[in-house]
């Protein structure tokens, strides 16, 4: 079949919206009609050419929501008509990672996914007879895409696609880091570095679990009002204090119970560790730093009971946890509507990237 897609032909070039060829689903695969997709920083990172795993030509996008249109042989858990959210972190429920209680990093299809192909090593997308690569196993910047069954979470049918697509990455990454990874207890003090599409979701996760103090830190003063709307109780602008770590320890009587770095800046990752409380404070790294960068601190920070952790996709096991997060949205426990700041048709997808680079959007969503 043909499908309309925004193709990334090369690093640093705008996406080109064209009709491409799409083969039907093979064994264990599913054809999904995408109804909406968010545009995330990770798409921009790969498009920029800075992503060491990035390869072209490819169809980017990993934050979608859609409807199953066809299933390949041996697909047991999905059927046409099901509403689904693609998972760049799949959940096979069989590999040694899925069976281990401490991780969500299913490895069943990791190798082929990283190379931009389906688990059998081939691509379903092509243009003029030449293959186009898949991206993060999702390629949600195509109106139709083929995905492995284990990379699709089945969700309720009354949830709006243009909002729940954000659960495919940003919402789950932020809220999940609090709920599934850190397991923040009610009454805890929480510090969030970077109040963008991820950090604001960490804030609402902290509110959801009943944190007593939620301190947001951002260089952009415009992020303060949005942060407060999502549950932030205190705001620090690093440009307005002499020392960020001291500012946090003053507000928390010696340090935070939990901190989250949502920027990808290795210097801030150090601040995030060192503002944690001696003896028990836990720092979670969510931001992805540039290739080759390293973190540092005095080891005594760790000896004295602060700890550094990292988390991908909020520690969520997608097929199990994503439907629950959709329920939280539908029950009004989390707010997505105020984070989807812009919508556009696929033809205008490059405008979504421009808004992101200008710091004007939290989330732009393409509606098919
Ligand atoms: P964003 O650009 O929307 O937000 C970053 C915020 O940090 C901005 O508001 C910016 O003003 C602020 N900021 C920048 N430098 C700062 C500094 N020195 N001190 C304080 N604030 C500063 O980005 P985002 O979409 O929220 O993504 C954040 C990070 O999370 C990125 O690195 C992204 O790649 C990563 N990410 C990780 C995962 C994961 O699973 N671990 C998933 C998605 C995204
Ligand atoms: O198992 O090695 C692996 C893959 C982990 C992928 C985690 C990606 C998380 C950070 C990238 C940002 C996602 C949009
Ligand atoms: Zn993302
Ligand atoms: Zn697995």
Report the SS3 class of residue 33.
strand
> In 3D, which of 223, 225, 222 has the Cα closest to residue 193?
223
pLDDT of 80? 98
Distance 170 CA to ligand 3 centre (A): 6
pLDDT of 145? 98
From the CA of 320, the nearest ligand is 4
How large is the angle between the packed helices 244-251 and 266-274, nearest 10 degrees? Answer: 30
* Ligand 1 atom having least distance to the Cα of 217: 20
Could you identify the residue written with the tokens 């939990």? 258
Reply yes or no on whether 106 is catalytic.
Answer: yes
Token digits of residue 300: 């005594």
Q: What is the per-residue burial (b if ≥16 Cβ within 10 Å, else e) of 310-325? A: ebbbbbbbbbebbbeb
Regarding the domain with residue range 174-312, which homologous superfamily does it belong to in the CATH classification? NAD(P)-binding Rossmann-like Domain (3.40.50.720)
Overall residue count recorded for the chain in this entry = 368
- The finding on whether 188 has its CB within 6 A of some atom of ligand 2 is no
How large is the angle between the packed helices 349-357 and 41-48, nearest 10 degrees? Answer: 90
pLDDT per residue of the chain (368 residues) written in tens, 0 to 9: 999 999 999 999 999 999 999 999 999 999 999 999 999 999 999 999 988 889 999 999 999 999 999 999 999 999 999 999 999 999 999 999 999 999 999 999 999 999 999 999 999 999 999 999 999 999 999 999 999 999 999 999 999 999 999 999 999 999 999 999 999 999 999 999 999 999 999 999 999 999 999 999 999 999 999 999 999 999 999 999 999 999 999 999 999 999 999 999 999 999 999 999 999 999 999 999 988 899 999 999 999 999 999 999 999 999 999 999 999 999 999 999 999 999 999 999 999 999 999 989 999 999 99
Reply yes or no on whether 294 is catalytic.
Answer: no
Could you identify the residue written with the tokens 């309720």? 156
> Cα 183 to chain center, whole Å?
18
Reply yes or no on whether 92 is catalytic.
Answer: yes
d(CA 364, CA 170): 12
Pairing of strands 152-155, 83-86: antiparallel
- Catalytic residue, chosen from 4, 26, 69, 110, is 110
d(CA 35, CA 83): 10
End-to-end, the C-alpha distance of the chain in Å comes to 17
d(CA 238, CA 234): 13
Token digits of residue 196: 């963008």
- The finding on whether 266 has its CB within 6 A of some atom of ligand 2 is no
Report the SS3 class of residue 118.
coil
pLDDT of 283? 99
CA distances for 266 relative to 101, 263, 270, angstroms:
29, 9, 7
* Ligand 1 atom having least distance to the Cα of 220: 11
Could you identify the residue written with the tokens 């301190």? 215
Reply yes or no on whether 277 is catalytic.
Answer: no
Domain ranges of the chain: 2-168+338-367, 174-312
| Domain 2-168+338-367 fold | Quinone Oxidoreductase; Chain A, domain 1 (3.90.180)
Q: How open is the CA angle 3-148-291, to the nearest 5 degrees?
A: 90
- The finding on whether 105 has its CB within 6 A of some atom of ligand 2 is yes
Q: Do domains 2-168+338-367 and 174-312 have the same CATH topology?
A: no
> In 3D, which of 349, 342, 263 has the Cα closest to residue 7?
349
CB atoms within 10 A of CB 277: 20
pLDDT of 53? 84
pLDDT of 195? 97
Residue 214 — φ and ψ, nearest 5°? -125, 110
> Cα 198 to chain center, whole Å?
7
Token digits of residue 355: 């808004």
Strand ranges of the sheet holding 125-127, from the earlier edge strand across to the other edge: 2-7, 16-22, 125-127, 130-131
Reply yes or no on whether 110 is catalytic.
Answer: yes
pLDDT of 122? 98
Which residues on neighbouring strands pair with residue 80, listed in sequence order?
none
Q: Which residues contact 292 (CB under 8 A, 6 or more apart)?
A: none
pLDDT of 290? 85
Burial class of 96 by CB neighbour count within 10 A (0 to 12, 13 to 18, 19+): exposed
Pairing of strands 258-261, 2-7: unpaired
Nearest CA to ligand 2 atom 10: 312
> In 3D, which of 344, 271, 313 has the Cα closest to residue 137?
313
- The finding on whether 316 has its CB within 6 A of some atom of ligand 2 is no
């Amino acid at each position: 079949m043909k499908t309309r897609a925004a193709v990334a032909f090369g690093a640093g070039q705008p996406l080109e919206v064209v009709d491409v060829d799409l083969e039907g689903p093979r064994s264990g695969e599913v054809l999904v009609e995408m109804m909406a997709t968010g545009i995330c920083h990770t798409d921009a990172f790969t498009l920029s050419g800075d992503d060491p795993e990035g390869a072209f030509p490819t169809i980017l996008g990993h934050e979608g929501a859609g409807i199953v249109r066809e299933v390949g042989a041996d697909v047991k858990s999905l059927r046409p008509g099901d509403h689904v959210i693609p998972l760049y972190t799949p959940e096979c429920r069989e590999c040694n990672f899925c069976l281990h209680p401490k991780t969500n990093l299913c490895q069943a299809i990791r190798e082929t996914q990283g190379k931009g192909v389906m688990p059998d090593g081939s691509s379903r997308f092509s243009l003029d007879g030449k293959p186009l690569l898949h991206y993060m196993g999702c390629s949600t910047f195509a109106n139709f895409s083929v995905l492995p069954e284990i990379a699709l979470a089945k969700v309720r049918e009354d949830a709006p696609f243009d909002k729940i697509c954000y659960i495919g990455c940003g919402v789950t990454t932020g809220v999940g880091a609090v709920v599934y990874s850190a397991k923040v207890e009610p009454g805890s003090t929480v510090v969030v570095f970077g109040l963008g599409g991820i950090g604001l979701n960490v804030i609402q996760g902290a509110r959801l679990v009943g944190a007593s103090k939620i301190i947001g830190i951002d260089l952009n003063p415009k992020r303060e009002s949005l942060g407060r709307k999502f549950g932030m109780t205190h705001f620090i602008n690093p440009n307005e204090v002499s020392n960020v770590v001291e500012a946090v320890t003053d507000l928390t009587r010696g340090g935070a119970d939990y901190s989250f770095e949502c920027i990808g800046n290795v210097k801030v990752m150090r601040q995030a560790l060192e503002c944690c409380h001696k003896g028990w404070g836990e720092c979670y790294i969510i931001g992805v730093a540039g290739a080759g960068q390293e973190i540092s601190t005095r080891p005594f920070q760790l000896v004295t009971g602060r700890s550094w952790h990292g988390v991908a996709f909020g520690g969520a096991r997608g097929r199990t946890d994503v439907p629950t997060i959709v329920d939280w949205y539908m029950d009004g426990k989390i707010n997505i509507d105020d984070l989807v700041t812009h919508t556009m048709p696929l033809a205008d997808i490059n405008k979504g990237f421009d808004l992101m680079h200008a710091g004007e959007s939290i989330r732009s969503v393409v509606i098919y």
